[in-house]
Amino acid sequence: MTSQHAEKLAALRLQLRKHGLGGYLIPRSDEHLGEYVPASAARLAFISGFTGSAGLAIVLSDKAAVFSDGRYTLQLQAETDRDLWERQHLTEHPPEAWLQANAAGLKIGYDPMLVSAAFLRKFDHCNMEAVAENLVDAIWLDRPAPPMTPAVALDEMFTGAASESKRARLAADLRSNGQDAALLTDPASLAWLFNIRGEDIEFTPLALGFAILYADASAKIFMAPEKMPAPTRIHLGNQVTVNSRETMAAALAELQGKTVRYDGDTMPVWFQTTLVAAGAKISAGPDPVSLPRACKNATEQAGTRTAHIRDGVAMARFLAWLAGAAPSGAETEISAAAQLLAFRSLGERFKGESFPAISGAGEHGAIIHYRVSPESNRPIKANEVYLIDSGAQYLDGTTDITRTVWTGPGPAPADIKAPFTRVLAGHIALAEAVFPAGTTGAQLDSLARAALWQAGLDYDHGTGHGVGSYLSVHEGPTGISKTARPVPLQPGMILSNEPGYYLENAYGIRLENLILVQPAAFPDTKQKFLHFETITLAPFDRALIEPALLSSTAIGWLNVYHAKVRLMLAAHLDPVNDAKTLAWLAQATQPI
């Protein structure tokens, strides 16, 4: 590893000299600034060896540093060479401070397609210079080709609205804002707006590309034309043209004198620079798809409910299987995750996992973003806590569920049942919350934590994230967390409800269902209220529940939920082939 990465650094430093730069900045993200990147854009991993999902490298002529956050402290140490790289914490020792200390005044190059204007603002005090050519690509001789999977149409029976009507609605919004066009740089926005899906990256069904939506509801997609088979082009219709990536700058130049909506927080700064140079007027505003995509229509809501029945059936078969298999100690974190995937694969419309399953036995459950590998894999033992956080992509919906179980056969100890029940109490408090329209996720976050707080416990992650409809399992623009996000919760939004508790080196507890925001009906009230419909269907492990720690309303919620789980799933299980699962389900959903 060492010599290979040393050679890469030497080659990149030659590029620095060639371009008259003192340093170069390599972010983790690709030009869509999203969570997952294809192999062709894994530049941070190529140059440094670090494969985590958040990070950044800076290479100077005489030193280099690679940054990531607390989730990846150990992985950063393991994957990068200490002789070549300073390993730093993104927020505790941020790159902008590192540059000030180590490269004051030096010209630092960056690729303007890979950073947002908001990101760049942190480096205001530095001497930053956009470089048109990507210097990592210049030295990356065996760089994989960009993904070339076909974009295919997603049927209206799943999307519930034709692209034409979506574009008409968004175009009307542009016109009412005095905007002539909007940029779309998030492939999930293209997927939603044009009702297309692809397989360019793992876990999220995206076809990578950009688009411009015009105020007359026409649009230009910028994507390799060979990714658009004839049926997809027919599906797109006459108002949408498919153009090669290379024509994008020219299309932006045609916006001279026009007002273009652009989000400096989420879009590459290259678009801003190019538009301004072309004489277009920038109108700051969020991606116009972001909010409508989050508010699922009736078809998408119905789809996700049926997808969750299939996912619940897989979970029931898995949990029943695990209840039988776990006490023997013969299964491992990897084999259990594989078994769950096998059960899911039987489901109609199943397309794959929505993220790499977190399968953590005992102390591994306490690693919040644990990803089991052949090296870390360990048996699931008798009488311990096992946590599995997983999800699937179905044509009609995306799922994400976490269950924490006691493997038995002995009874769970009281000191584990207590925090488990407090996590459950928080989960239920959020699930049964009613709240006025206009409320943000940040305002509800404490409801999920209060029961843990009462015992001096907490969890160091958000309570919930948005979830797409056969799209990204992490979707904006809202969330439920301590950090305030300005967009209020609105009907049709799907979020996760996943409080947890983690005892380092011992165990992890997380209980996650997806919840759908719905109007709440109060005949006597003028003010509009909302509530959550829980759409995930799987029992919570009764062996870990201490009823004395739940309020009577919480016990009532749990019993009603379990009865619903039994009713909904049993109807989809086969009396003969699923006899064991049915027997397990009947027992697992008994009232408390």
Contact residues: its own copies, CB under 8 A: 429, 432-436, 439, 442-447, 449-450, 453-458, 482, 484, 520, 522, 524-525, 527, 529, 551-553
Considering the complex, what minimum distance in angstroms separates the CB of residue 549 from its own copies? 10
Which segments of 81-226 are extended strands (E)? 86-89, 107-110, 127-130, 152-153, 181-184, 196-197, 210-214, 219-222
* Residue 385: alpha-carbon gap to chain centroid: 26
> In the complex with its own copies, which residue's Cβ is closer, 13 or 422?
422
> In the complex with its own copies, which residue's Cβ is closer, 374 or 456?
456
Separation of first and last alpha carbons in the chain: 56
* Residue 289: alpha-carbon gap to chain centroid: 17
From residue 589, alpha-carbon distances to 410, 542, 543, 559 in Å are 20, 8, 11, 8
Considering the complex, what minimum distance in angstroms separates the CB of residue 446 from its own copies? 5
Spatial CB neighbours of 399, under 8 Å, sequence gap ≥ 6: 307, 308, 311, 354, 391, 392, 514, 536
Considering the complex, what minimum distance in angstroms separates the CB of residue 461 from its own copies? 14
Q: Which helix or strand (DSSP H or E) is residue 25 part of?
A: strand 23-27
> In the complex with its own copies, which residue's Cβ is closer, 457 or 569?
457
Considering the complex, what minimum distance in angstroms separates the CB of residue 520 from its own copies? 7
Coil, strand or helix: which one is 214? Answer: strand
* Residue 112: alpha-carbon gap to chain centroid: 24
> In the complex with its own copies, which residue's Cβ is closer, 1 or 592?
592
Spatial CB neighbours of 571, under 8 Å, sequence gap ≥ 6: none
* Residue 71: alpha-carbon gap to chain centroid: 15
Query: CA quadruple 555, 561, 565, 568: dihedral positive or negative?
Result: positive
Considering the complex, what minimum distance in angstroms separates the CB of residue 448 from its own copies? 11
> In the complex with its own copies, which residue's Cβ is closer, 11 or 487?
487
Considering the complex, what minimum distance in angstroms separates the CB of residue 434 from its own copies? 5
Q: φ and ψ at 55, to 5 degrees?
A: 170, -170
Considering the complex, what minimum distance in angstroms separates the CB of residue 462 from its own copies? 13
> In the complex with its own copies, which residue's Cβ is closer, 1 or 434?
434
> In the complex with its own copies, which residue's Cβ is closer, 213 or 549?
549
Rounded-to-integer distance, Cα 218 and Cα 220, Å? 7
Bridge partners, residue 219, by sequence? 213, 240
Spatial CB neighbours of 549, under 8 Å, sequence gap ≥ 6: 418, 421, 422, 425, 451
- Counting DSSP H helices and E strands in the chain, the numbers are 19, 28
Neighbours of 368 (CB within 10 A): 18
Considering the complex, what minimum distance in angstroms separates the CB of residue 405 from its own copies? 24
Considering the complex, what minimum distance in angstroms separates the CB of residue 523 from its own copies? 9
Under 8 Å between Cβ of 499 and 404: no
> In the complex with its own copies, which residue's Cβ is closer, 188 or 433?
433
Closest CA to 23 of 110, 95, 94, 96: 110
> In the complex with its own copies, which residue's Cβ is closer, 124 or 415?
415
Considering the complex, what minimum distance in angstroms separates the CB of residue 422 from its own copies? 11
Closest CA to 318 of 296, 344, 349: 344
Considering the complex, what minimum distance in angstroms separates the CB of residue 436 from its own copies? 5
> In the complex with its own copies, which residue's Cβ is closer, 551 or 577?
551
> In the complex with its own copies, which residue's Cβ is closer, 445 or 512?
445
Rounded-to-integer distance, Cα 105 and Cα 182, Å? 36
Rounded-to-integer distance, Cα 573 and Cα 480, Å? 34
